[in-house]
Structure 1
């Protein structure tokens, strides 16, 4: 059996209980070495076989899984954050399907959640934004034509941008070109929830300058939107005059 496990956003104690228990039982662990906190490997048995996928191709990863399966081993494929976001797990699952190897997926805490925690922010604020766009800047790997940064920026929603710190000058230009004002609040969160986490707030027009000034070149999320500002509306759900299934709202009548 193969388990795709979300390692969490960085802090070793942010892996799920299910994920930690699988690491403790695993005979074979293949972890994303360039991004996963190596402290998580301390959950593993001393005799577990450990592979760093940063040094491997897809074919090599599948070969390890196939050989482990022949021996009746439990394999954990440990991905950063939650495997569903930029985890490249679909291609691995397809390969396992072809070989009739059973697998399951264990979700994890994504770094976009960790970044919000670091900022002490709420992405969805009434009167500001009720949508979160998770995307990345086009670089060596293209994005679909309808998913360019400028197209998404036109919505003015909360945006969380992965894998784009090295392209930050172009990113800043595309965000402004798409419709965000230069004064739009922005932030860079470096290694969210790791011990060396850093948070930098700025205006959108200062984004590239802020990254350069603080030598942030990778392993960071870029966040843009009014949710980082001050004005917002109070949630209706907890308003005294709002009736729900569980509580009758009051009136201001005398």
Structure 2
């Protein structure tokens, strides 16, 4: 492996949901900086015994960059292990910009996001024919500002499937905005710690989900999924329809006509 920084998505929780490529790089790393607040420590079992390990949960951006800079100067392979997929709420842009200023090469290795893990946990598909062909990834405004055009109420008006990150602690506000936007009682699910051993799934509607979440005392590390895809009638995909032709198969009716 090259002397550079690898931003790797560790997946949503289950250590086996890291990619094969990500695991191989992790195994050969000299330095590992991992997001200790959300990344399973089981990943560290695959690190070399001589690897330097840093938990970024207690570090500032400046401190993280200092470790990267010094380690690169020493010719080491550095892994920055992020939760889920690093491109979604991963705060990697600011790190990559600093590395570019220092002329330190880097690579991004994608991972399984918590929003897909959450859908898998409740065995649902976001994109159903005749229901929704769009998935919106968003969050409600807290200490991090959200553009007015992306306010949750505005997005809910679209009627698409939605995955809401980093917002379960403000569930009252989430439900209020979703009700105003959707304008009806839409199915909703809250998945706490998707793929972890203590995973918990709650399914309800906008009318009752708030009480269910409060009774389970879920206040963090949960994904909110909302939309008709959770509980609805839908049309089968044309892809496997016996009368639908495509580049790899002729439809049944077409074969008969020939």
Q: TM-score range by the shorter chain?
A: over 0.9
Secondary structure at 2:253's aligned position in 1? Answer: coil
Task: List gaps (5 residues or longer) in structure 2.
Answer: none
Quote the residue 2:88 is aligned against.
85
CA distance in 1, matches of 2:209, 2:175: 7
> What are the within-5 Å matches in structure 2 for residues 201-212 of structure 1?
201-212=203-214
CA distance in 1, matches of 2:187, 2:49: 47
> What are the within-5 Å matches in structure 2 for residues 143-182 of structure 1?
143-182=146-185
Quote the residue 1:7 is aligned against.
10
CA distance in 1, matches of 2:110, 2:37: 19
Secondary structure at 2:146's aligned position in 1? Answer: coil
Quote the residue 2:33 is aligned against.
30
TM-score by length of 1: 0.97
CA distance in 2, matches of 1:180, 1:74: 52
Quote the residue 1:125 is aligned against.
128
Count of paired positions:
253
Shift of 1:169: 0.3
Work out whether residues 168 and 207 of structure 1, in 8 Å CA contact, stay in contact via their aligned partners in 2.
no
Quote the residue 2:72 is aligned against.
69
Say yes or no: does 1:195 pair with 2:218: no
Q: Deviations over 1:37-86 (max 9, x none)?
A: 11011111111111111101111100000010111010000000000000
Quote the residue 2:252 is aligned against.
250
CA distance in 2, matches of 1:207, 1:53: 34
Q: Deviations over 1:85-119 (max 9, x none)?
A: 00000000000000000000000011111111101
Quote the residue 1:58 is aligned against.
61
Secondary structure at 1:87's aligned position in 2? Answer: coil
Shift of 1:204: 1.2
Work out whether residues 161 and 222 of structure 1, in 8 Å CA contact, stay in contact via their aligned partners in 2.
yes
Shift of 1:209: 1.3
Quote the residue 2:224 is aligned against.
222
CA distance in 2, matches of 1:150, 1:167: 14
CA distance in 2, matches of 1:159, 1:207: 15
Q: Deviations over 1:188-229 (max 9, x none)?
A: 001111111111101112222111110100000001000011
Quote the residue 1:185 is aligned against.
187
Shift of 1:251: 2.4
Shift of 1:250: 2.0
Secondary structure at 1:61's aligned position in 2? Answer: helix
Quote the residue 1:139 is aligned against.
142
TM-score by length of 2: 0.96
Work out whether residues 137 and 171 of structure 1, in 8 Å CA contact, stay in contact via their aligned partners in 2.
yes
CA distance in 2, matches of 1:97, 1:225: 40
Task: List gaps (5 residues or longer) in structure 1.
Answer: none
